[in-house]
Amino acid sequence: MKKWIALLMAMMMLLSVVPAFAEDDEEEEQLVVEVLYIEASGEQVKLGYTAETEILDVDGLKFKDLNKNGELDVYEDWRKPVDERVNDLLSQMSATDKAAQMLHMTLVTLKESWFTDLGVGFVLAYTYLSAGAEDAALKTNEVQSLSEASAFGIPVIFSMDSVIGASWVQGATIIPDQITLAATGNVELVRQLNDMQREEMLALGVRMSLSPVADIATDPRWGRVQECFGEDVEIATAMTVAAIEGLQKGNTLTSESVMTCVKHFPGSGAQTAGVDGTPLVFDDDSFQMHLSIFKAAIEAGAASIMPYGYSTVPYLGGDAVENYAHESSTVMTELLRRELGYEGIIQTDWGLNHTAAALAGADALGGAGQRESKKLTQNLTDEQFNERVGRLLKAKFELGLFENPYVDVAAAKEIVGSDEHYALVKQAAAEALTLVKYDNAVALSGRQLIVAGSLAEDTAALSSGWKIADYQGKNILTAITEKAGAENVTYIGDDLSLVAASYPEGTTAIVVVGEASGTHEPAWGTSTLEFPAVQADMVAALKASGVNVVTVVLMNRAYVMSPIADNSDVILLAYRPGCTAGAEAVAKALFGEAPITGKTPFQIPATMDQVMLQREDLAKDIVDPLYEFGFGIEVESFGK
C-alpha cells in the first residue's frame, strides 16, 4: 500500500497472537500486525488501522475503506452525523450481520472466525486479558485487527465485569468494593476512582464496564450487598451518578469514554429471604425507592442498563411473573423503554434464553454463542433488528471506534497500575475504615503483637470475587509485619491451641474476621450472619488471655456483631478495602498514621432475630440495631 499518508506522529506496534500449535507440536509463525496512526490535524481526525486496511483520500482528508469497495461510504465518513452513518451501515448489512452484532460472547480462547467471518459485536474478557497490561493491550489490538478485516470492518467492543476496576488484568488497580466506598460518604472520590478506572480501561482497549451497581442493600443476607453503594438511597444515587460520569467522562459517549452498564434493573436488592436468584419482593412504595436510582442513572446518560438475569419481578405482573427480568417485555419494553423513556442499550445479564430476551426488548445478549445468530435471524423482524442493532452501532460510532479501535501498548504499561492510581485507591480504603468500638486502645508501635485469623493472610478476601484469582497484592499480615517488624509479630492463624493462657503486659492481638471472597453466594450462606465458631472463639480466647483485642472485620454485608463486640476492645470495619492497597491502608490506620473517619453504610444487627424481622425491600428497618446506619467513632490517630 502506498505510504502517502502525512503523519504528525507514527508508531509501530507488534501484535503477538497467542501461539497456535499444530498436531506435531511445532509452533506456528506468529502474526505481526503493523498499526499506523494519523494524528489529528485541522479537520482530520485520528485514524488507527492495520497495514491491510486501504486508506481513501477524499477532499484532502483520510478515511478508512472499511467495506473494501474502493469508495467512501456514508458510514465511513467521520464528517457525517452519527444517525446518518448508522442508517447507511444498517442498509448494507444482512440479517445475519445484524444478529452477530447483538452477540456479547465470553472470550476465553481466541477464535479468529468470530471476528473475521461472523463479525461479533461484543466480547466479555475474563482471564483472556489476565496476564498483564502489555499482553492485554496486544490482545485487544489483535482482535480489533481481525474485526477490521471483516466484511464491514465493524469494531468489536471489549467489556469487563469491572465492578472494582480492571480487575481481570494482573497489575491493574483494584478499587475498594462499592459497599466500602459508601462508608466514605465521599461522592467526589467515587467520581475520581471511576475516572481512574476509565483511564486504565481505555489504555487496555476495554470500552465497556459492567458497572456501576445501582442496587440498594436493603437485605443484609444477600451476598451481593458488597457490590452496592449501601443502604441509603440518597448516597447510593449520588455515587451511582458519579460513577457513570467518571467512567463516561460526562453524560454522553465520546472517544474518551468507557460506556457504563448500570445494573441490575429494576433493583435486585430485594431478593426473597436474601437468596440470590429468587423473585424480587416489592410494594408500591419500596418499588419506587429501588427504581429511583435507575431514573437518576438514565438522567445521567447511562450508556446501557442491565436487567437482572436471575430473578423474576412478580410485582410488575405480565410476563415478569414468570420470566427473569432480562427476558421480560414488561420489565424492558413497558417499564424501561416506554414508562421511563430510556433510549440507550439494554444489555442482558449472562443467561440462556437469548432469543426470548431479544424479542422482549434486549439489544446486546450476554453470553450468547455463535449458534444464537441463526435463531435471531429466524425470529426477529427487519424493524426489530434495525432498532436494536442501530443502538449498538450508534454507541460504537460515538466511542470513536470506527476511526481508531487500537491502543498504545507502551502507554498501557505506564498507565495501568500507576503509583498515582495506587495512592487514590489507598486513600479510598483509608477513608472507609470505620471504628464502631474504641475502648482501651493503645498505640501499637514497639509493642508485641499477635495476629490471628486466617483471613489475615488472605489477599483475595480484601476484595469481592470479581477479579482474577491470583491477583498479586499484599495481605494484612504482611502489611502489619512491615510496620511492626517481624520480631514483634506472632501469627497464630485459626489455631486456638496456640493461644496462651496469658501474655506479657502490653501485648495486643489483631484478629482478622469476616467472610472469604465471593460473588453471588456468600461464604456463610444466606441463612446466617453470625460469625463462625472458629472466629468468635478466637476473639473470646484472646480476650480471656488478658491481651488488648483489636478486631478487624472484612465485612461484605452487615453481620450480627454482638459476640465480637462483647470480646473486643476495638472493632475496625474494613469492609472490602481492595487487593491493591487495602492491607496497607488498614496497617497505616492501626499504627496511628492516618485518621479513621468512616461511617457504617448499613445498619448492623444485634441478633439474627432482628434480621429475620426486617423486610427484604425496605432500607434501615431493623429495630434497635447494635449499630445504626451512619455510625462511626472518629479518631485522629489510633491509640493516641
Of 41-50, 98-107, 297-306, 420-429, where does mean pLDDT reach its minimum?
41-50
pLDDT tens for each residue of 533-581: 999 999 999 999 999 999 999 999 999 999 999 999 999 999 999 999 9
Could you give the CA distance from residue 56 to residue 186 in angstroms, rounded to a whole number? 50
Q: How confident is the model at residue 391 (pLDDT cuts 50, 70, 90)?
A: very high
Query: What's the mean pLDDT when you consider all of the chain?
Result: 94
- Closest C-alpha to 366, from 382, 387, 345, 393: 345
Could you give the CA distance from residue 397 to residue 403 in angstroms, rounded to a whole number? 8
What's residue 126's pLDDT? Answer: 81
What's residue 51's pLDDT? Answer: 87
Residue 69 identity (one-letter amino acid): N
In 10 A of CB 434, how many CB atoms? 26
Could you give the CA distance from residue 409 to residue 634 in angstroms, rounded to a whole number? 44
Could you give the CA distance from residue 251 to residue 257 in angstroms, rounded to a whole number? 10
Is residue 403 in some structural domain? no
The number of CA neighbours under 13 Å toward the Cβ of 245 is 17
Is residue 537 in some structural domain? yes
pLDDT tens for each residue of 290-318: 999 999 999 999 999 999 999 999 999 99
Is residue 434 in some structural domain? yes
What's residue 9's pLDDT? Answer: 30
Domain containing 516 equals 419-613
Contact 308, 268 (CB under 8 A): yes
What's residue 576's pLDDT? Answer: 98
pLDDT tens for each residue of 193-226: 999 999 999 999 999 999 999 999 999 999 999 9
Q: How many domains does the chain have?
A: 1
Q: What is the CATH number of the domain that holds 525?
A: 3.40.50.1700
What's residue 39's pLDDT? Answer: 64
Is residue 195 in some structural domain? no
- Closest C-alpha to 519, from 349, 265, 400: 349
What's residue 33's pLDDT? Answer: 56
- Tell whether omega for the bond before 314 is within 30 degrees of 0, i.e. cis: no
Could you give the CA distance from residue 340 to residue 561 in angstroms, rounded to a whole number? 40
Is residue 442 in some structural domain? yes
- Closest C-alpha to 48, from 205, 283, 248: 205
Is residue 597 in some structural domain? yes
Is residue 238 in some structural domain? no
Phi/psi of residue 311, nearest 5 degrees:
-135, 145
Is residue 98 in some structural domain? no
What's residue 43's pLDDT? Answer: 85
Could you give the CA distance from residue 322 to residue 304 in angstroms, rounded to a whole number? 24
- Closest C-alpha to 106, from 364, 326, 425: 364
What's residue 18's pLDDT? Answer: 31
What's residue 385's pLDDT? Answer: 98
Q: Is the pLDDT of residue 25 over 50?
A: no
Phi/psi of residue 636, nearest 5 degrees:
-80, -35
Task: Indicate the helix (H) or strand (E) that contains 365.
Answer: strand 365-366
Angle between helices 187-204 and 419-432 (to 10 degrees): 150
What's the pTM? 0.94
Helices H / strands E in the chain, number of each: 19, 18
In 10 A of CB 416, how many CB atoms? 25
The string of DSSP letters for 464-494 reads: -SSS-TT-----HHHHHHHHH-GGGEEEEET
Q: Is the pLDDT of residue 4 over 70?
A: no
Q: Is the pLDDT of residue 36 over 70?
A: no
